[in-house]
């Protein structure tokens, strides 16, 4: 009798399970985006020659998620320095046309590897390319645009019933590079997508520059985040590991300078993710909500005279930036501000992912997480556009590379105006409200 009841209960549970629509469907995809020929590599002004082969492939990977009402989200991660707006806008427009996705439903993120190709026009003041080298870079950007569209489309084409879980670990190799005692964020957030009882996708993040390799390294690679993805995909066969860069603009890995260190950091990160996956994770629920907007960030006032002076500089980077700025003055449109993308995605009441553009310093993530302390929040940087560093007011006042001099290499006119953090903070607060995140 007891046996019969068990069988009946099991049958009823089976019926109920088959009738209920799964809470989510998820799809994954990947595309090898390793440049086929030697190409100028990005991230270090001190480089003297183009790439010479690869340690492992560079990937664009897609994760598509759909809730039971049909609301979809696509996250595209890349082993690249940073995706400029001209590329992400073009890909988003094509995705909107083909798949009826709004801009808010698409997230692009770059791992910020410094052993990847130059992605035009990101950081263009950093390079002085010959016409042939320039053509290789332009061809790569053109091909990349098609590749990113393809990888997002393929993930959307792979949607199958799935469960989503979230957990968080830590890894300690990221150091504040401005001040050894400065703030850090060692958390390793993980979203696991489970299908048929096995991990189908592992999306994980960390707040640290992807700069274990240095200017002298000429082999293309994803640096430590590339190695971490390789480790995870070996450990969880069939799973796609996707890395999302958080607010690590003022953080460097320690130690640096050797491929074996990049492997070690990758292992440490993968082990942290593995611990999260084998531990207690929180189930994420529908509905999915997302919002995306651009806020204008103003630069400190500048004048034409200032750039006429700077154009005479013996520093070729400064002189080049000055020429670009003078050209804008000539056109009657001096660069006074830059549009800044702010995005938020909420999974039920369980997790909010904030995706910010640019090289965001750790202060932003710490402030957002502190303020929304009743929420689970992950704050990504390097998302949707990387137009320059995004200093907090503290770092803007301190100056240095992240607050001031990096603007030269990004071809921006100078430091941000003093209200940069306020403007971003207001945009984040609006986005959080729109997706229903609680303070």
Give the footprint of Zn ion on this chain (CB under 5 A): 359
**Residue 381 Cβ vs Zn ion, minimum distance, rounded to whole Å:** 10
The residue among 223 and 359 lying less far from Zn ion, judged by its C-beta, is 359
Query: Beta 106-110 vs 72-78: how paired, if at all?
Result: parallel
State which residue, 187 or 251, has the beta carbon closest to Zn ion.
251
Q: Provide the token pair at 234.
A: 């070996």
Q: How far is the CB of 112 from Zn ion (least distance, A)?
A: 6
Q: Which is nearer to Zn ion, 217 or 359 (CB)?
A: 359
Residue (of 160, 123, 141) closest to 78 by Cα position: 141
Alpha helices by DSSP H, listed for 108-222, are 131-156
Q: CB of residue 180 vs Zn ion: minimum separation in angstroms?
A: 19
Q: By C-beta, is 359 or 421 nearer to Zn ion? A: 359
Which C-beta is closer to Zn ion: that of 310 or that of 359?
359
DSSP state of 416: B
Q: How far apart are the first and last CA of the chain?
A: 53
State the minimum distance, in angstroms, from the CB of residue 402 to Zn ion.
8
- What is the signed CA dihedral for 154, 160, 165, 169, rounded to 10 degrees? -30
Minimum CB–partner distance for residue 409 and Zn ion (Å): 9
Nearer to Zn ion among residue 27 and residue 43 (C-beta): 43
- Cα separation values, 93 from 59, 99, 121, 288, 292, Å: 22, 10, 19, 21, 14
CA atoms within 13 A on the CB side of 408: 19
CB of 209 to Zn ion, least distance (A): 6
Distance CA 377, CA 226 (A): 24
Pairing relationship of beta strands 389-390 and 359-360 according to DSSP bridges = parallel
């Amino acid at each position: 009798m007891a046996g019969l009841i068990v069988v009946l209960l099991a049958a009823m549970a089976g019926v109920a399970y088959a009738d209920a629509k799964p809470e989510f469907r998820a799809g994954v995809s990947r595309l090898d985006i390793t440049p086929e020929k030697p190409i100028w590599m990005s991230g270090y002004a001190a480089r003297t020659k183009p790439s010479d082969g690869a340690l492992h492939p560079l990937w664009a990977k897609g994760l598509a998620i759909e809730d039971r009402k049909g609301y979809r989200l696509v996250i595209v991660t890349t082993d690249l320095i940073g995706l400029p707006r001209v590329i992400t806008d073009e890909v988003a427009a094509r995705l909107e046309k083909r798949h009826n996705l709004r801009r808010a439903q698409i997230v692009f993120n770059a791992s910020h590897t410094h052993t990847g190709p130059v992605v035009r026009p990101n950081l263009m003041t950093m390079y002085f390319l010959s016409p042939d080298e320039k053509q290789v870079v332009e061809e790569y950007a053109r091909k990349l645009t098609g590749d990113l569209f393809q990888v997002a489309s393929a993930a959307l084409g792979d949607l199958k019933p799935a469960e989503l879980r979230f957990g968080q670990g830590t890894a300690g190799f990221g150091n504040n590079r401005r001040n050894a005692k400065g703030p850090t964020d060692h958390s390793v957030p993980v979203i696991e997508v489970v299908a048929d009882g096995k991990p189908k996708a592992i999306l994980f993040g960390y707040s640290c520059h992807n700069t274990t390799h240095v200017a002298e390294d000429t082999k293309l690679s994803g640096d430590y985040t590339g190695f971490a993805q390789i480790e995870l995909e070996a450990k969880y066969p069939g799973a796609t590991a996707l890395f999302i860069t958080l607010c690590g603009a003022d953080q460097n890995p320690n130690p640096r300078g050797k491929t074996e260190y990049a492997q070690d950091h990758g292992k440490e990160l993968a082990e942290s993710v593995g611990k999260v996956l084998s531990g207690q994770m929180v189930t994420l629920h529908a509905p999915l909500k997302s919002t995306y907007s651009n806020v204008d960030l103003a630069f400190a006032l500048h004048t034409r005279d200032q750039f006429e002076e700077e154009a005479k500089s013996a520093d070729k980077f400064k002189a080049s930036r000055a020429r670009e700025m003078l050209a804008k003055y000539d056109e009657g449109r001096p660069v006074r501000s830059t549009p800044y993308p702010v995005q938020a995605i909420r999974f039920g009441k369980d997790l909010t992912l904030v995706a910010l553009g640019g090289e965001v310093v750790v202060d932003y993530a710490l402030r957002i997480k502190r303020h929304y302390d009743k929420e689970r929040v992950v704050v990504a940087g390097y998302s949707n556009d990387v137009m320059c560093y995004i200093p907090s007011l503290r770092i803007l006042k301190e100056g240095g590379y992240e607050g001031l001099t990096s603007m030269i290499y990004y071809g921006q006119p100078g430091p941000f105006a003093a209200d940069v953090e306020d403007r971003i903070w207001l945009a984040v607060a609006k986005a959080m409200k729109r997706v229903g995140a609680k303070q």
